[in-house]
């Protein structure tokens, strides 16, 4: 029997904000959606069963890390990434372009050969071309595949950013050809162009012509200011295709997610929930608390009285403070679960507010609870 084809539909809009449904043969994904990051075939300190209990409907993993360790052949021999990590949720894999820029000792970018770099683990030389990135992602058997792009560091050099964008578009065409016909999977294009609106528009139009299953916005978590990021989101909001999911890559502070939804973004990922958890930073409806601080040593209160996750139901701030201060493994496990649950509950509230035409009220309440000034926006 043929596998169910990838599909997306918008269910409701409230100004630019929208809720929708991504359909995959492994399950549906309600949008706006947050993807916990399982970089190396695991969401740190979390079992897949617990990830599902948080309400997560999709996770992200990474081509760069998996090609280095354990290697695509080893994952393939286990039956693909889902079997390897015992995950029945849909999986999106990043192409590895950002990690090549941020982690490896990069030797060279070659228009034809792709990225030539040394592993940050053992110095071994790798070649990652658009075709190789797609080959690896198909070998991992991911459900949503990202094209190979060049993700340059933030720069005010217009010609440098344009040259990088042109290279990414050339690689986009090659990625599309290498992907072939896989109707039960999706291939997303990535808009580049730095902080330059004309380049962003040119990149988007070219990707629309190539015809991808979804559109991602890249290069918006590489050191730009919040104002610069919002400016690009605002500019792109009425230009992105209505009938394709829109993914803002690597952006994950709660307020950044709420802002991006205001401009019509559907998908998000970030390591922040689990990374912060391992450092004692717990995210609550009123902001972030550092659980290792002295005021929580004797606190019988839950992490967040407005949260109904199992951590907030069963454990006190005092206990989590103790676990963190003694470096107990359970501390990271419980904190990670809570933070991911918070994110998924945030996404649920966003979707419900859009469905009931109350998203503007939700946004105002969100900022009021955090004692933050609400930025100007399209609501």
Spell out the alpha helix ranges (H) of 62-155: 63-68, 72-77, 81-85, 97-102, 130-140
Using CA atoms, how far residue 314 sits from 108, 304, 307, 347, in Å, is 52, 12, 11, 23
21 bridge partner residues: 9, 30
223 falls within a domain: yes
The single residue listed with the structure tokens 């939700």 is: 362
29 and 127 in a single domain? The answer is: yes
266: Cβ contacts below 8 Å, ≥ 6 apart: 18, 20, 31, 32, 33, 245, 246, 247
Q: What percent of the chain is helix, strand and coil (3-state, nearest 5)?
A: 40, 20, 40
- Which among 94, 149, 213, 345 is annotated as catalytic? 94
Which of the residue ranges 61-70, 75-84, 90-99 would you say has the lowest mean pLDDT? 90-99
291 and 259 in a single domain? The answer is: no
User: pLDDT band for position 106 (50/70/90)?
Assistant: low
Last residue in a domain, options 270, 288, 305: 270
The pLDDT assigned to 84 comes to 98
Per-residue pLDDT tens for 164-177?
999 999 999 999 99
224: Cβ contacts below 8 Å, ≥ 6 apart: 154, 195
* Cα–Cα distance for residue pair 232/249, rounded to 1 Å: 14
378 falls within a domain: no
253 and 330 in a single domain? The answer is: no
Q: What is the dihedral of CA 147, 260, 251, 217, to 10 degrees?
A: 20
260 and 333 in a single domain? The answer is: no
261 and 289 in a single domain? The answer is: no
- Which among 143, 256, 266, 269 is annotated as catalytic? 269
Phi, psi of 125 (to 5 degrees): -80, 135
Could you confirm whether 269 is annotated as catalytic? Answer: yes
The pLDDT assigned to 24 comes to 98
Last residue in a domain, options 246, 270, 294: 270
132 falls within a domain: yes
Mean pLDDT of 52-80: 96
The pLDDT assigned to 317 comes to 98
- Which CATH number belongs to the domain containing residue 153 in this structure? 3.20.20.105
Q: Please state the three-class secondary structure of 32-84 as a single string.
A: CEEEEECCCCCCCCCCHHHHHHCCCCCEEEEHHHHHHCCCHHHHHHCCCHHHH
User: pLDDT band for position 103 (50/70/90)?
Assistant: low
The pLDDT assigned to 151 comes to 84
234 and 337 in a single domain? The answer is: no
Per-residue pLDDT tens for 292-348?
999 999 999 999 999 999 999 999 999 999 999 999 999 999 999 999 999 999 999
Mean pLDDT of 187-202: 97
55 and 171 in a single domain? The answer is: yes
81 and 21 in a single domain? The answer is: yes
Per-residue pLDDT tens for 241-296?
999 999 999 998 999 999 999 999 999 999 999 999 999 999 999 999 999 999 99
The pLDDT assigned to 221 comes to 81
Per-residue pLDDT tens for 363-373?
999 999 999 99
331 and 200 in a single domain? The answer is: no
Write the burial class of residue 86 (CB in 10 Å: 0-12 exposed, 13-18 middle, 19+ buried): exposed
* Cα–Cα distance for residue pair 267/33, rounded to 1 Å: 5
373 falls within a domain: no
| Terminal CA-CA length for the chain | 46
Mean pLDDT of 193-204: 97
* Cα–Cα distance for residue pair 186/7, rounded to 1 Å: 9
Last residue in a domain, options 251, 270, 289: 270
13 falls within a domain: yes
Q: What is the dihedral of CA 359, 362, 366, 371, to 10 degrees?
A: 110
Q: Given a cut of 70, is residue 196 above it in pLDDT?
A: yes
Looking at the structure of the chain, the number of domains it has is 2
68 falls within a domain: yes
Domain extent at residue 219: 7-270
The pLDDT assigned to 188 comes to 98
371 falls within a domain: no
288 and 208 in a single domain? The answer is: no
* Cα–Cα distance for residue pair 206/166, rounded to 1 Å: 10
285 falls within a domain: yes
Average pLDDT of the chain? 95
266 and 315 in a single domain? The answer is: no
Q: Given a cut of 70, is residue 104 above it in pLDDT?
A: no
307 and 158 in a single domain? The answer is: no
Closest CA to 32 of 209, 190, 230, 256: 256
The pLDDT assigned to 153 comes to 78
């Amino acid at each position: 029997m043929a596998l169910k084809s990838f599909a997306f539909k918008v269910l409701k809009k409230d100004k630019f904000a929208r809720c929708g449904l991504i359909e995959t043969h492994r399950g549906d994904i309600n949008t706006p959606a947050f993807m916990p990051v399982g970089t190396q075939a695991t969401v740190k300190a979390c079992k897949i069963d617990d990830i599902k209990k948080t309400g997560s409907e999709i996770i992200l993993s990474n081509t760069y890390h998996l090609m280095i360790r354990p290697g695509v052949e080893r994952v393939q021999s286990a039956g693909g990434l889902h079997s390897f990590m015992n995950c029945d949720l849909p999986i999106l894999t990043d192409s590895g372009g950002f990690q090549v820029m941020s982690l490896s000792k990069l030797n060279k970018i070659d228009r034809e050969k792709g990225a030539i770099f040394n592993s940050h683990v053992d110095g071994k030389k790798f070649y990652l071309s658009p075709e190789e990135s797609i080959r690896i992602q198909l070998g991992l058997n991911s459900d949503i595949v990202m094209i190979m792009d060049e993700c340059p560091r933030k720069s005010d050099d217009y010609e440098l950013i344009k040259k990088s964008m042109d290279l990414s578009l050339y690689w986009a065409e090659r990625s599309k050809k290498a992907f072939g016909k896989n109707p039960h999977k999706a291939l997303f294009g990535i808009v580049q162009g730095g902080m330059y609106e004309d380049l962003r528009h040119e990149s988007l139009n070219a990707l629309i012509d190539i015809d991808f299953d979804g559109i991602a916005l890249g290069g918006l978590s590489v050191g730009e200011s919040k104002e610069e990021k919002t400016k690009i989101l605002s500019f792109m909001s009425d230009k992105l295709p209505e009938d394709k999911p829109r993914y803002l890559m690597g952006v994950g502070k709660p307020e950044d997610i709420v802002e991006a939804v205001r401009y019509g973004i559907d998908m998000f990922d970030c390591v922040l929930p689990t990374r912060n958890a391992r450092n004692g930073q717990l995210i609550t409806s009123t902001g972030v608390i550092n659980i290792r601080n002295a005021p929580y040593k004797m606190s019988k209160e839950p992490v967040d009285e407005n949260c109904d996750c199992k951590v907030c139901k069963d454990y006190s701030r005092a206990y989590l403070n103790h676990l963190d201060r003694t470096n107990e493994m359970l501390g990271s496990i419980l904190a990670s679960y809570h933070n991911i649950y918070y994110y998924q509950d945030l996404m649920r509230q966003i979707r419900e507010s859009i469905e009931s035409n109350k998203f503007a009220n939700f946004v105002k309440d969100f900022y009021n609870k955090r004692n933050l000034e609400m930025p100007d926006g399209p609501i």
